[in-house]
Structure formats: C-alpha cells, structure tokens
Structure 1
Amino acid sequence: MSGLRFLVTILVGLISIPWTDGARAQFADRCLAVSQAPHPVQPVALKKTEVRLTFVGHATFLIESAGGVKIATDYNDYVRPAVVPDIATMNRAHTTHYSNFPDPDIRHVLRGWNPDGGPARHDITLSDVRVRNVPTNIRDWSGGSIAYGNSIFIFEIAGMCIGHLGHLHHTLTEQQIAHIGQLDVVMVPVDGSYTMDTTGMVEVLKSLRARLILPMHYFNPYTLERFLDRIRSDFPIEMAGDPMVVISQPTLPGEPKVLVLPGH
C-alpha cells in the first residue's frame, strides 16, 4: 500500500504543477495553428472577369461564378458534382440528363422541356449570373420527333456567353441561332449517334462560331477520337490535363479552338 500511496502522491504533484507562460504559449500556438490551418482543397478565388468550368462527366459541367453561384448542367442521379449547385439545368432525352429527385437545396431547377406541353421558357438572374434557354426538338424511340424536348441553355457570366447544347438532335435554324446569340464557349455532345452524327455537329459548331469548344457526352476514348479526327482540319485541338479550367474574355482564343477536358 505504501508504494501505491507514493505513486498517487507523485501524480497529484504533477497535476498541480502550474504551467509556465512558455508552456501556455506553446499550447495556444499549436491550437491556433490547427484552427487556422487551411482546408485540404481551397479553390482559388475568382476575379469578377473569370468563370470556373469543371467537367464532371457525361454531359455535366460545374460552372462557378465570381459571385459564388454554382450551376450543374444536365443534372441527373448518376453523375453529379461534389457540391450542391444553386442552379441545375436538365434535359429529357435519357435519365442521365435529368433527375426526378433533385436535391431540395437547389434554388432553381430548370427543366429543358415543359411537362405541360409547349416550349420551356427560362430567363432567370441570380447574383452575377443570367440563365436562359432556346428550345429544340428530339427524336423519339419510334423515329418520330418530340417538339421542344431539349433546350440549349445559355449562361451569361462575367461578360461571356457560355452555351450547353444538351442532347441536341438536329442542326439549328437561323431563328434558333439568332436567339442563342454569339457564344464565347460551347459544350457540345460528340458521341456521333445518340445525339446526331459528327458531320451535323460540325455544322452546328461552325454556325455558332464559339471561340472555345468543350466536348462532352462521349462514352469511351474511341468515340472521342472519332470526333477529333473529323474536326482536326477545321479547328485546332488542345488536350487538357485537368478537368477544370478558368476562363475570361482576355484568355479565350482568338479563333475557335477545341479544348478536351479529361472525363468520360
């Protein structure tokens, strides 16, 4: 028992020893360093003239403005960004382009078709972002046509017009091109089959004359390469190493160029 009393006496003595100022400072500094340590991933703040584009996959891009607005294109249940967007656009061709159960925290869910019939009409402004649409048609499974089953969404941000063609099934009329306006960036499906053939899609790209062309909606390296082989004589091609790119008017190419962001 005497040994046990001795051990207890030592422990009590250690606990009662007052901390020196240096010890307190060292502990406080360590806690402060931990509390103020940056998160593992901190995206660089955007200038008012910049937009961040991230290819999430399939037909989904995450578009971010300097004002903090986040947009997910062709939002669906299979391929989603890691963050909940403020705005989600959808198209109805396949379930990989829409969701019946979007996250309830999304402020604006914009369907590219009108469930009640007729064309969908969207024109909203949120902070530094304006989103509008131009309806187009799609094919049905019997070979017929569904009027206004798709929308081309146009995002006006930082003095740029960014277009997402959705699940486009046909070339564009002069009226549709006029309503779209002059695009600076276009996100284009390049599968060459489910949407439209490569020749038709190249015609669309030439009519839109966007300075930056971002391929999407390809299912494997073969379909992507088939599209790139077809357009090499029409547009220069750059293969990016990162799925994210920050763009602004001054950094856009002077002539139309294809930028392939890694994805699927």
Structure 2
Amino acid sequence: MASASASASARRTRRALHLSLGFGMVCGLAAATTAPAAAADPIVKAPTLMTLRLDAPTAYLTFKDNSEPDTLYTITLTEKDNPGYTKIVRQAPGGVPGTGRVATRSATGIKPGVAYCATIRATVHYDYSDLNPYELEDPDTPESNKVCADPVDASKPQSAPTDLSIGPVTGEAKPPSGTSRNYWVAYSNKGADAKGVVLEVWATGPMKLRRPPENGTFSGFTCAAAGASGFRCTGGTVKPAEKGSIPFLISVTGTGNGTIHASITGSGDANTADNASSFDFEAIPRVV
C-alpha cells in the first residue's frame, strides 16, 4: 500500500509540476512555481548519512537512501577544523533500489592525516507521463545530516571503524577437467574487531566443491558446504589488521568457462564496497 501511495503521490506532484510550468510560462514565473512543488514531493527526501571512513585519498560514506528513483549522489566534504577551506564535491552513481536501503559510496581527493565532515544528497528522476513540451529538470534532495570523522591511523587499526574486505581469489586459471585443484580466498580487517563474520564462496561453471575448509582453523570460522559448488563459514572473529586466507578443494567436472565468487559480511562494517571478489577460470580438456 505504501508503494502505491508513493506512486500516486508522485503522479499528483508531476501533474502539479506541469500545471505550475504552464502557468509560469504564461506569467513568466516558471522557476518560482516549479521549485516548491519539487521540494514538497515525498519521494524527494534527503539520505540519512550513517558512517564516514577516511582512508586517504578516499572517503567512504554509508547511508540510508530515502528517495526513489535516484539517479546519482553528490558528496560534499569539508575539512573539520577548517570548514571555510575549498570544498571537495564528487558525484557517485545512483541506482539504489526502492527506499530505506543502506548503501556505500566513495569520494576521492582527501588529504592524509586530515579530519573531514561529509554530507550527501540524491538527484531524483521524474518520469513525465503527461504530454508536456517543457521538460523539467530532475530535482535534488536536500543535503543529508553531517557526519565528521578522523582519518584512519594505520598504526592503530583498533581505533578505526571495522572494515572487512575480501582480497583476491587465487588459483589455477585453466584447470584441467577431471582433476582436483586448490583455490584460496584472502580476507582482512583494517579496523576494530569484527565478530560474527560470515564468509561465503560459490562457483558457477564446471566446478564442484570437494572438501570445505576445516572448522576453527581460520579466525574461528565454522565452515560447511553450501550447495554443490560452494561453502559458508560463520561465527568468525577477525581482529584489527588481521589478514588470512582460506583454502578450499574443488573438483573440475567438465570443460568451459566459470567464475568463483566470494563475499564477507559482519556487523558494524563501515565500508561494504570491498566485501566481494570474483575469479574467472576456463576449465580445459585434460591431457593424458
């Protein structure tokens, strides 16, 4: 019902925009009449900024999207102790489905060792269904709340927000059919303790899991097979600055192309942009 209500509201607003534009063209007041209508639209709401992580030269923002359909985001960064200094303004892709979803976007150009404050706003697309020769610009939401953060200190990872990441998946790029091969999935944490971590690996193509990793050997994970070609490890604890690599054994069941996928998740992860990785392979005929 909420979706239908939002859709109906959007249609009402678009009609109001059209009427405002038509009246404004006659009276020479188009800009004055269209702006309030866009601002009042319930689908044009500012994002809610949740976390900011500064790992120069990149800033990572985690936020809740409150607008639909968003086409892009504009990130504004100012130095915390020198707000009058030149602002850093960057655009990031939109496309977060629906509303209320948590997403991560990044902006480059920050200085190392400098604290910053950030806001983010969305641009919302209007799809005009009525006939109107005067196309209106897509409106921007108001800016989000402001969040400030200190830069990541590489020598003190425990003081930084949790940042789990999946490194490269490594192994043989052209495994022979009918053989067994080992592959490795690297993982790490740049910030504070990450508990209850879940790591998942699965393959598409001519591969079948032969043996999942041993339980408890890697950061306390408990691993079990998940489907015919993957596994799921749960309950891991990845400490600050810890790096690890989980090996797994697969059987190459045929020939052709495929991909190994890996992902990692954990509560409090401040940067989800680096939580997945993949490895393309081509299984080839075995030479006897």
TM-score range, shorter chain: under 0.3
What's the TM-score, normalizing by structure 2? 0.23
Q: Which has the larger radius of gyration?
A: 1
What's the TM-score, normalizing by structure 1? 0.24
The structure that is strand-richer by fraction is 2
The answer to which structure, 1 or 2, has the higher relative contact order (CA under 8 A, 6+ apart) is: 2
The structure that is helix-richer by fraction is 1
